[in-house]
């Protein structure tokens, strides 16, 4: 099953967020989010894909971290065959393997404790999770209503 043009466009806009959100948890979530969208194209009928929200993907991410492995649904989504070329397929598999390793090793658990709030030396705070979700939401809205 091919990835839809709308998913390809969404991913092209989401991946650059890694430059702004460079911490491990945010980068992993960006990859996870993109993998979920590709997997939904592969596994779910169009009407059902439209019901999946950003908060659903965030919850799946947390559950995978808590379990130390992908949820069954995510595992099924990762059986997709992405891209018409072998190099695209290999790139997709490499991202999935990296995420799997992060879940299994527990590398993301420590980062979660600071993902919602980070104190700055000047006494202010950064809200990395909220900022990332706002950025993704803005991109999603722009993709839905160009």
Residues 133, 142, 95, CA angle at the centre, nearest 5°?
55
- pLDDT, tens digit, 9 for 90 and up, residues 53-67: 999 999 999 999 999
Tokens of 112: 């979660």
Structure tokens at 8: 């390809």
Write down the pLDDT at residue 84: 63
Helix (H) or strand (E) holding 125: strand 125-126
Give the position of tokens 């989010």.
33
Residue-wise pLDDT tens digits, 5-30:
999 999 999 999 999 999 999 999 99
pLDDT band at 81; cut points 50, 70, 90: low
Of 32, 15, 55, 28, nearest to 112 (Cα)? 28
pLDDT for the residue numbered 98:
97
Name the burial class of residue 4, with classes exposed (0-12), middle (13-18) and buried (19+) by CB atoms within 10 angstroms of its CB: middle
pLDDT tens digits, one per residue of 83-132: 667 788 888 899 999 999 999 999 899 899 889 988 899 999 999 999 99
């Amino acid at each position: 099953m091919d990835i839809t043009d709308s998913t390809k466009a969404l991913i092209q806009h989401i991946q650059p967020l890694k430059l702004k959100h460079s911490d491990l948890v945010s980068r992993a979530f960006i990859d996870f989010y993109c993998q979920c969208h590709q997997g939904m194209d592969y596994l779910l009928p169009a009407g059902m894909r439209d019901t999946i929200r950003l908060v659903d993907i965030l919850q799946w991410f947390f559950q995978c971290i808590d379990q130390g492995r992908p949820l069954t649904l995510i595992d099924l989504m990762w059986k997709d065959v992405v891209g018409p070329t072998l190099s695209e397929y290999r790139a997709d598999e490499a991202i999935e393997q990296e995420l799997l390793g992060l879940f299994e090793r527990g590398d993301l658990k420590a980062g979660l404790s600071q993902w919602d709030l980070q104190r700055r030396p000047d006494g202010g705070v950064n809200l990395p999770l909220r900022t990332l979700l706002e950025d993704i939401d803005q991109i999603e809205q722009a993709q839905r209503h160009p």
